């Protein structure tokens, strides 16, 4: 595992964030929060996909009314996302949310921010201070000639110090930048200034394919630098896809392990089998496994096993024969149509060996 920047620990419901606790995955529902049944249903799907916290938009009183039912039914802590209306934040806390995400720049002044912090403090509720380039203070915009990463950091630190003076420390910080280099720069600067847990992500990263790449670069580079305590991938796609993408990024960055990793070759002129199709089937086969194995799907017998010698198990073959290899050595040859069945058996053997059965 990578060495992480040391942050203080805070609690969001039953989830501990920061310090050496696991980097959590969160996402945001895209249902109408006032439609409590649809929102609860989506939260269930998010939870099943691996979401560990969920944020819901609270734009009006109708959304607030459903929060009690949502927070009671949710298997993960619920975060209220509030803009402009501090009174909605106060009411959301009364409805049992574990955290409130606010942008102090659009809340209507310091007094209102303090009212929210006071109520949050009384109820053991955490706050996310989410600084957004669109609502930076005028003096900061002038002083830094625009919404540069330094300007975002300056604004965040100002809000943090203000809340600290008031005696409020139960917070997570995020900076809203929509490209990967600016995100990296901003969080790197912020980590030198505060020790609160960092909520990282590239905001509005884009449609699935483009947004996944942008998020992987932005979040991945921060994780590799040891930064980040909770992650949100922000895609124009379902929250379930966001959670799945976040898990893959965390695992690829060596920050968490959620199960086996699939390795598959890019194929070339030596390829003798349908690698994409076989890889999809193997991926489904290992989806429920918990051990951090590397499982390979390679296109040819001559090079495949050797190229994937780091894998715990691998498959390759010819149109007629299926081959299973372990750490680069061929261990079984089976009829091509029995390859998946044979792999399943070898995975079970591996599982037994891991669990000492
Ligand atoms: Fe090509 Fe074989 Fe390597 Fe796949 S494993 S890229 S088919 S040489």
Q: In the chain, which segments carry CATH 3.20.20.20?
A: 10-252
Pick from 349, 229, 226, 233: which is nearest to 291 by CA?
A: 349
- Cβ of 1 less than 6 Å from ligand 1: no
- Which pTM value belongs to this model? 0.91
What's domain 10-252's superfamily in CATH? Dihydropteroate synthase-like (3.20.20.20)
Give the model's pLDDT for residue 16. 97
pLDDT in tens, 228-285: 999 999 999 999 999 999 999 999 999 999 999 999 999 999 999 999 999 999 999 9
- Cβ of 297 less than 6 Å from ligand 1: no
Q: How far apart are CA 151 and CA 137, in angstroms?
A: 9
Q: How far apart are CA 34 and CA 208, in angstroms?
A: 27
Give the model's pLDDT for residue 204. 79
Q: Please report, to the nearest 10 degrees, the dihedral formed by the alpha carbons of residues 234, 236, 241, 247 taken in order.
A: -20
Ligand 1 closest atom vs CA 271: 7
How are beta strands 199-200 and 99-102 bridged, if at all?
Answer: unpaired
Give the model's pLDDT for residue 357. 62
Residue 2 pLDDT > 70:
no
pLDDT in tens, 66-92: 999 999 999 999 999 999 999 999 999
Mean pLDDT of the chain: 93
Kindly list the distances between the CA atom of residue 126 and the CA atoms of 18, 96, 163, 352, in Å, as whole numbers in the listed order. 13, 12, 12, 42
- Cβ of 267 less than 6 Å from ligand 1: yes
Whether 229 and 9 have beta carbons less than 8 Å apart is answered as no
Question: Ligand 1 center to residue 301 CA distance, Å?
Answer: 8
CA angle 357, 284, 258 (to 5 degrees): 65
Give the model's pLDDT for residue 178. 67
Please name the CATH architecture into which domain 261-355 falls: 2-Layer Sandwich (3.30)
Give the model's pLDDT for residue 142. 83
1 pLDDT band, cuts 50/70/90, is: low
- Cβ of 296 less than 6 Å from ligand 1: no
- Cβ of 31 less than 6 Å from ligand 1: no
Q: In the chain, which segments carry CATH 3.30.413.10?
A: 261-355
Average pLDDT for 140-152: 83
């Amino acid at each position: 595992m990578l060495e992480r920047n040391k942050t203080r620990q805070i609690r969001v419901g039953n989830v501990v964030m920061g310090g050496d606790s696991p980097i959590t995955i969160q996402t945001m529902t895209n249902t109408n929060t006032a439609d409590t049944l649809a929102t609860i249903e989506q939260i269930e799907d998010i939870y099943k996909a691996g979401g560990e916290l969920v944020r819901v938009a609270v734009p009006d009183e109708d959304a607030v009314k459903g929060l009690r039912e949502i927070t009671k039914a949710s298997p993960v802590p619920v975060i209220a996302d509030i803009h402009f209306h501090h009174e909605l934040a106060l009411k959301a806390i009364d409805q049992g949310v574990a955290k409130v995400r606010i942008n102090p720049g659009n809340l209507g002044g310091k007094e209102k921010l303090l009212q929210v912090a006071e109520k949050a403090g009384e109820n053991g509720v955490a706050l996310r201070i989410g600084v957004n380039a669109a609502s930076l203070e005028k003096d900061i915009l002038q002083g830094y000639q625009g919404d540069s990463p330094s300007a975002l950091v300056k604004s965040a630190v100002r809000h943090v110090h203000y809340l600290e003076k008031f005696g409020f420390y139960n917070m997570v910080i995020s900076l809203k930048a929509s490209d990967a280099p600016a995100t990296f720069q901003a969080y790197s600067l912020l980590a030198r200034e505060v020790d609160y847990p960092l909520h990282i992500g590239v905001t509005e990263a884009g449609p699935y394919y483009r947004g996944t790449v942008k998020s992987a670069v932005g979040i991945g580079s921060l994780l590799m630098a040891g930064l980040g305590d909770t992650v949100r991938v922000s895609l124009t796609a379902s929250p379930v896809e966001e959670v799945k993408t976040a898990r893959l990024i965390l695992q690829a960055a060596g920050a968490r392990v959620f199960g086996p990793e699939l390795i598959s070759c890019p194929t070339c002129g030596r390829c003798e089998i349908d690698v994409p199709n076989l890889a999809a089937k193997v991926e489904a086969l290992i989806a429920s496994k918990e051990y951090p194995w590397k499982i390979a799907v390679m296109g040819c017998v001559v090079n495949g096993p050797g190229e994937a010698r780091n894998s715990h198990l691998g498959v390759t073959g010819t149109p007629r024969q299926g081959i299973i290899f372990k750490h680069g050595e061929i261990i079984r040859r089976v009829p091509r149509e029995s390859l998946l069945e044979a792999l399943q058996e070898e995975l079970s053997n591996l599982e037994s060996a891991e669990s000492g059965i």
